Structure 1
């Protein structure tokens, strides 16, 4: 009972931190400073490392994942979804790609971002911090290979969650 209360307190603390950061980002978007690189064009954040693969169109969530992840998550910024997806596809085909390893894949979709995780701790962190309703599905390696084909069609979220 005590451990459950402690987890609940930690979760509430993370949510409060998320809300504070989100409010500060909204203020920056409404009143950008001179040194801000904000633009009216949409940006896409392609994230690829040994434990997580995903594309986000929300810089705040990409940075929260980097801050809270147990692995060193890095992201590249692209001006179109297609360029971000091409980056992910190139990573999948590289020898360093975790897709070749026989590990389960944890797939998330919140109606805004679609992501693939290979590390359970990272996905737990993501679920604790996302402000959107989220869905989780554990996939086998065989389904993971199918996911690669879906990304080539640029229909990741529609194909996995239809």
Structure 2
């Protein structure tokens, strides 16, 4: 059984695959086809009381969200717990979603704050916070909500 877990199966990236849609018949009686882009998928989380469950659903993208890296090392370093705590603190003010690897694995777990309405000049727009712990959640949420909290001075990249 553990041998099967070690061999992960990668699903194709279907976010950008087109969907064929049949158009009404033309004057000649032939059916014409055109291609419409498939709606983007975003990963989301739910908590059922017994643990954190990650899944994908089709959602309208939101501008105000926090992405938590769910790549291998970030997940093992506490990414799911971090995501659950961020969700609890943010409430309905924004979305907390899991995402693919951010490429800074050595410093994980990593978080990207996507907040277009952040007017705080001391915090870069859409910062990537590296090496985030549960202790950093309060500062990240405060900056996400627009409060000026300078304690979020961990390693941040744009």
Whether TM-score is above 0.5 comes out as no
Per the normalisation by structure 1, the TM-score is: 0.33
Higher relative contact order (CA 8 A, sep 6+): 1
The structure richer in strand per residue is 2
The structure richer in helix per residue is 1
